[in-house]
Structure 1
C-alpha cells in the first residue's frame, strides 16, 4: 500500500533575513519554518519586533534592498527565494496577495479606488477597462462597501479607515489568489470595525477558497480566526500548535505569558500578568534562549 504525501501549498524552511547595520548584519528572522495547507488559516503572533511582518513580506520578496534573505520559500514546490523580479511579479496578486497594515499608504493617493482595483484585475486577466471596472464594483460590494458604483470614483482619503481596509481586501482578492497574507489588518481600528474587517476577510477567504496567513499581535483576533498558530519571539518560531491546543495547554513560557496578558471577557482569571522587561535588541541577543532574561521559569541551562 502506498501513501501519497500532499505537497503543502506554502512551505517555508530555515528562512533567515538579515538587514545591513552600521556594525554589520542585524538578524530579523532566524531560521523560521512554516507550513500552510490549502484553505487553512495560519495565525502568526508575537510582540512587535518578533519578525512576524518581515516573515510575511519575505514570502513575496517585498523587503528592501538592504535585506539579505536565505532559506527556502516554496509555493506548491516552486522556489520563490531568488526568483527574478519579473517571475515574482506574475505571482504577486495572482497566486499570493497581500493585505497591508496601513491601507492609506498602500493605496496611491492620487488615483481613484476603482482605477487601482481595476488595474490589479487587468494586470493578471485579459479583460477590457469596462469589464475590469465592473469587476471592481463587484469586489467592493463583496466586502460590504455601500453604493459600490459610486465608491469606485472616490479617492483613498475620502474613505474611513475601515472602508480603506475593506477596499484593500477587495483588491487583494481581485484575482482569486491561492494565499492571502494579512499583515496586522485590524491595527488602529476600533473593536467594532475590527470585527467587521475580520468578517470581510473570512467572507473573502470563503469566496475565493484561499488559505490565509494572519499576522497579528492580538491573541483575541488569532483565537477567533486561525486554525493553527505560530508564536514568534526574537525572529524564531518558538511554538506551533492548533489554536485550541495552544490556548488550552501552551508549551512555551512565552506563549503562556502572552495568554496571561490577555484580558478575559468573562471576568475570570484575576488580574492581568504582564511579561516583565522588553525584548533584547536583535543585534545583542544573549546566548541560549533569548526569552530567558524575561522568563519566570528560566533555569541555568536556558542561558547555555
Structure 2
C-alpha cells in the first residue's frame, strides 16, 4: 500500500500533472459556460440583426433628411434640413414613428399625428438602430406608463384610495407644468412660430410618457430628474380620468377654456341680442311714422 501511495505521489509531481489539471479545468469551465451562455449569445445576435434591419429601413426612408449615419443634413443656407439623431435615443424614434409624425413628406412645420407608416416591428428596428448611434432614453417598460400597474404601499394590488391619490397628484403636476400649452383638459392649443400643442386626450399612454421624456418640437424635456417616473405615471392616470369625466357645463366648444366660450358668448349671444334690439327699434320707428301720418 505504501508503494502505491508513493507511485501516486511521484505522478503528482510529474511535469504532465499540472498540464492535465489545467486542461481538465478548461474543459469544465467551457462546459459550464456553454450551458449558460447560449441564451445571452442568441440575445446579442438577435439585437444585432434588429439593428441591421433598422439600418436598412433607415437608409431607405430616413437618410435623405437625417444623413446616412444619423448625423443630420444642413441646407445651403445653413439651416437644419433634418436634425441629427445620434443622441435622441430609442424613445424619441418610437414616439415620432409610432404616432405617424415621421417620416414627413418634406421638412417644414410641425407634423401632425397620423396613421403610422411603419409596422410595430419595423418601428422597433428603427428605434434599435438609432439607439446604437449614441446615448438617449430607451423605450419605457409597460409598468412605467400603464396606470393599471399602480399598486398599494403594501404591494397587494391597487386600491381605489391610492388610485385617487395618484390622480390628484397627477392633476396638480399637469396643471403646474402642462396646461399653459395643452389646455386644462389636454385639448391642445396654438403656439408661437407656427407650432401647436397637440391634443393629448386619447393618446397612447406610452407615447405620452415618451413625449415627456424626450420633449418633441417646442415641448420641454421632463427628464426623470425633473419629473420622476412615478409622477409621470400619475399624470397619465389623471389624463385617463378626463376621458371618463362628463362635461357638466354643457357644450365644451372643444374644451378650449373660457376664452373660446367667451368669444361664443360675445359673438353669438350678445350679437343676437344686439340684432334683436335693432329690429325692435326699427319696427317701433316705422309704427310711429304711420300713426303720425294718419293723424295729420
Into which bin does the TM-score normalised by the smaller protein fall? under 0.3
TM score, norm. by length of structure 1:
0.23
TM score, norm. by length of structure 2:
0.24
Bigger Rg, which one? 2
- Normalized per residue, the structure richer in strand is 1
Greater length-normalized contact order (CA 8 Å, ≥ 6 residues apart): 1
